[in-house]
Copies of this chain bind each other. A is one copy, B any other.
Amino acid sequence: KAQEMDLSYRSTISIYKTILEQFNPALENLVYLGNNYLRAFHALSKAAEIYFKAIEKIGEQALQSSTSHKLGEILMQMSDTQRLLTSDLEVVAQTFHVDLLQHMEKNTKMDVQFISVSKQYELEYRRRATNLDKCMAELWRMERARDKNVREMKENVMRLRSEMQAFVSESQREAELEEKRRYRFLAEKHQILYNTLLQFYSRARGMIQTKAPQWKEQLEASRNPSNSHAQGLLAGSHSQGYPSGRLTPTHLEMVRTAVPNPPPPPVAASSHQSGLVTSAGSGSKVSAGGLAGMCGAGHVFPSELTSILFCGGLLRRMTYTDVGVCPRPFLS
Contact = CB atoms under 8 A, between A and B. Distances in A.
A209 interface: yes
Given A107-B330, A249-B177, A159 B288 contact: yes
Interface string A83-126: 00000000000000000000000110011010001001100100
B306 A124 contact: yes
A329 B291 contact: no
A54 B35 CA distance: 13
Contacts of A181: 330-331
A41 B188 CA distance: 27
Interface string A65-97: 101100110110010010000000000000000
Nearest to A117: B314
Given A195-B212, A198-B208, A58 B30 contact: yes
Q: How many copies does the complex hold?
A: 2
Contacts of A163: 241, 280, 302
Contact of A134 (B18, B297, B332): B297
A contact patch SS: helix
Interface in A157-193: 159, 162-163, 165-191
Contact residue range for chain A?
35 or more
Nearest to A285: B159
A332 B61 contact: no
A287 B124 contact: no
A26 B131 contact: no
Contact of A187 (B40, B194, B215, B249): B215
Given A26-B58, A111-B329, 12 more contacts: A26-B54, A26-B61, A30-B58, A34-B51, A40-B43, A43-B44, A71-B186, A124-B309, A131-B297, A152-B287, A166-B239, A180-B222
